[in-house]
Amino acid sequence: MVGGALAGEDAVKAGYPICCECSGIVDGTESDYNLFERMHWSCFHYTFEHWNSDNEGDRDIPCDDRSCPARWPAKSGPEAPVA
């Protein structure tokens, strides 16, 4: 883990990227930090993409995106298995 136990102001002072949605250190998707509007990819997904007529934006109900974090609670992300 890039940030280790750092959090809040200590992480900012150390120069780690901070998610503007959840305020956590962006670690695994750091290379895509700016692409995802300075967020974790999952925070970006829930903020901008996670909506369809079936889930009405509920984060617990998977949307149509095959990599939706709600689809794979144990392992989510672009590398998650696809059903």
Each residue's pLDDT tens digit, 19-60: 999 988 888 777 889 999 999 999 999 998 888 767 777 888
Whole-angstrom distance, CA of residue 64 vs CA of residue 66: 6
Whole-angstrom distance, CA of residue 83 vs CA of residue 73: 13
| pLDDT higher at 6 or 40 | 40
When pLDDT is averaged across residues 4-8 and rounded to a whole number, the result is 57
Per-residue model confidence (pLDDT) at position 37:
93
Cβ pair 59, 42 in contact under 8 A: no
When pLDDT is averaged across residues 7-27 and rounded to a whole number, the result is 80
